[in-house]
Structures are given as C-alpha cells and as structure tokens.
Amino acid sequence: MKISSNLVKKLRELTGVGILDCKKALLKKNGDINKSIDYLRKKGKSKALNKTARTTLQGSIFSGTKNKFGVLLEVNCETDFVAQEENFINFGKEIVNTALKKKICDFNVLKKVFEFKRIHLVSILNENIKISRYFFLQGDFLYFYLHRTRIGVLLKSNSNDSSLIKYLAMHIVASKPLYLSPENIPQDILLRERKIQLSRSLELGKNISIAEKIVSGRMKKFIGEISLIKQKFVIDPKITVEKFLKENNIVIKNFMRFEVGEYLFSS
C-alpha cells in the first residue's frame, strides 16, 4: 500500500512522532489514522488520543448567549489573514446573532440559512469558507468565554457568579477536558485505552498480574486527565476542579470547548 506524504504529515501533526515512525504505523495499519495513533501509543511513542485530532486549518471561534440560549460556532478559512478580515468576522457574528434570535438547534438548518452568503463571501475573499461546527445550550446560567478568536467555551451551571464561572471557563481553555466527569466517558474509549496500556505493559515483559496493577494506575491517570472535575484546577493546582465546585456550591451541567482546527474523528 502506498502512503501519501500528506497522510504521513497529518499523523505527525497529531502525534508529534517522527516521519519514519508515522509512515511505518500507517503502512502497518493500512492508512487508518485512528488505528495508527493506537499503534504508536502502544509503542509508547505518542500521547495523542484518537478521540481528538488537530489540523492546520485557520478560522475563528464565535459565541454568544441570549434569552436562555447559547451557541458556540467555528468558521474556517484557508489563511490567518482572512480569519482577521472584517467581512469574515462579520459573517461569523451574523451567524451567531441569527442563531440566538431564532434559537436554531439544527446545524444543517443553520448552514442552509447561510449558504448563499457563504458562497458570496468565498467570491469576495477568494478563499474557501466553511461553517464547520456548531453547539448550543439552553436554560438558565449560561456563560461563554473566548480566548482571543482561537478558543471558545460555552457552559451551563447553577450559578450566576460570573467571576467564579470565568475561572472555570479559563481552566477548560487551558486544560482541554474532553468530558465532564468519569461517568461521561464512553465505554469504548475506556476499553480502547485499557487495551493500549495492557499491551504496553505486556510488551515490557510484565506478567499479567503486575501488568493489571500498572494498567489500573495508568487508567486512573488517564481518566483524571480527560475528565473536567478530576483535573487539577489551573487557578489553584493544590485542589481539583471537583473540590473548587463543592467549595463554591457550583454544579457544571454541561460544557463544550472549541479550538480552531480541532476535529473529532469517529472511534
């Protein structure tokens, strides 16, 4: 099987592993990105999760809340120059304002509403423009936070203390949790990680009983790294997010984090 240089480059961007190792993994796994990431992790060469991958796309994150409705939006373009262009920025803001006003829940409906304007913008900017991702929340105590135009967080809680909620949003920006709590992690993600860690331990020559103990510790660490409430709180690393929430009687009901160029691959 022939592996393209673009595919090797993509795997290298996702894992930080050298070109030769990436090519070897892709050849062994018939060009499957997710399986290649798993293969490299089993070899201890990469920490990348195949739940999340990053590309080099440019663009901006837009967000807003109004009348108990909040949205998070990613619009992509080809260059950073266009991402800062006034027409592009106004396009993203218009989408958010329309979504908030009409409380649009269906992403396909939203894209259809703006398809003509998107095509018109492409003709003006001479770059491909893509409305890539959309997320919404409904209810009381919605809060959004934008880190420049590259990262956005939308969350729902039980608190109107914006200063405390801002700290939580800043933490989410910095620590990149994938799930709210361990209970929210899909079983297939846990089973895959356990399989990877067990394979690594056995390849190091550990017997099964010792390997199981090692895997148990690694799984605890893995769950702590991707679960919001189990992470060390970046504002005060001596405590976890869970402890901060309990001390301030805050409950995070849901959240989403978008970063420009970040895409979820199917498992």
Q: Are residues 33 and 67 in the same domain?
A: no
**Is pLDDT of 5 > 70?**
yes
Q: 3-class secondary structure for 62-128? A: EEEEECCEEEEEEEEECCHHHHCCHHHHHHHHHHHHHHHHHCCCCHHHHHHHCHHHHHHHHHHHCCC
Q: Is residue 111 part of a domain?
A: yes
Q: Give yes or no for a contact between 208 and 202, defined as CB atoms under 8 angstroms apart.
A: yes
Q: Are residues 258 and 138 in the same domain?
A: yes
Q: Is residue 65 part of a domain?
A: yes
The mean pLDDT value for 159-165 works out to 96
Query: What pLDDT score was predicted for residue 143?
Result: 98
How confident is the prediction for the chain on average, in pLDDT?
Answer: 90
C-alpha–C-alpha distance, residues 245 and 243, integer Å: 5
Please, how many CA atoms are within 13 Å of residue 261, restricted to the half-sphere of its CB? 16
Q: Are residues 149 and 259 in the same domain?
A: yes
Give per-residue pLDDT as tens, 93-111.
999 999 999 999 999 999 9
Q: Is residue 108 part of a domain?
A: yes
Q: Are residues 12 and 68 in the same domain?
A: no
**Is pLDDT of 140 > 90?**
yes
Query: What pLDDT score was predicted for residue 54?
Result: 43
The mean pLDDT value for 131-150 works out to 97
Say what percent of the chain tops pLDDT 90: 70
For residue 92, which of 69, 64, 128 has the smallest C-alpha distance?
64
Q: Are residues 151 and 258 in the same domain?
A: yes
Q: Band the pLDDT of 203: cuts 50, 70, 90.
A: confident
3-class secondary-structure state, position 18: coil
Compute the C-alpha angle 248/137/94, nearest 5°: 120
Q: Is residue 233 part of a domain?
A: no
Domain of 100, CATH number, reads 3.30.479.20
Full residue range of the structural domain in which residue 118 is found: 58-163+253-264
Domain of 24, CATH number, reads 1.10.8.10
Instruction: Phi first, then psi: give them for residue 168, nearest 5 degrees.
Output: -65, -40
Other Cβ atoms less than 10 A from the Cβ of 197: the count is 21
Q: Are residues 66 and 111 in the same domain?
A: yes
Query: Which residues are CB-neighbours of 158 under 8 A, at least 6 positions away?
Result: 141, 249, 250, 251, 253
Query: What pLDDT score was predicted for residue 15?
Result: 80
Query: What pLDDT score was predicted for residue 48?
Result: 61
Query: Which residue type does 209 have?
Result: S
Q: Which long-range contacts (CB under 8 A, 24 or more apart) does 87-96 make?
A: 87/121, 87/124, 87/125, 88/60, 88/121, 88/125, 88/129, 89/60, 91/117, 91/118, 91/121, 91/129, 92/60, 92/62, 93/62, 95/62, 95/131, 96/62, 96/63, 96/64, 96/71
Query: What pLDDT score was predicted for residue 92?
Result: 98
Query: Which residue type does 221 have?
Result: K
Q: Are residues 130 and 159 in the same domain?
A: yes
Q: Is residue 53 part of a domain?
A: no
Query: What pLDDT score was predicted for residue 117?
Result: 96
Q: Is residue 3 part of a domain?
A: yes
State how many domains the chain has.
2
Q: Is residue 71 part of a domain?
A: yes
Give per-residue pLDDT as tens, 23-64.
999 999 999 888 888 888 887 777 665 444 444 479 999 999
Say what percent of the chain tops pLDDT 70: 94
Q: Are residues 26 and 142 in the same domain?
A: no
Q: Are residues 148 and 257 in the same domain?
A: yes
Query: What pLDDT score was predicted for residue 49?
Result: 59
Q: Are residues 36 and 148 in the same domain?
A: no
The mean pLDDT value for 228-251 works out to 97
Q: Is residue 260 part of a domain?
A: yes
Query: What pLDDT score was predicted for residue 70?
Result: 98
Q: Are residues 11 and 133 in the same domain?
A: no
Q: Are residues 71 and 123 in the same domain?
A: yes
The DSSP 8-state label assigned to residue 179 in this structure reads B
The mean pLDDT value for 86-96 works out to 98
Task: Please state, in angstroms and as integers, the Cα–Cα distance from residue 132 to each residue in 27, 148, 262, following that order.
Answer: 30, 18, 10
E strand segments, the chain: 52-54, 58-66, 69-77, 130-138, 142-147, 151-157, 252-259, 262-264
Name the residue with higher pLDDT: 203 or 162: 162
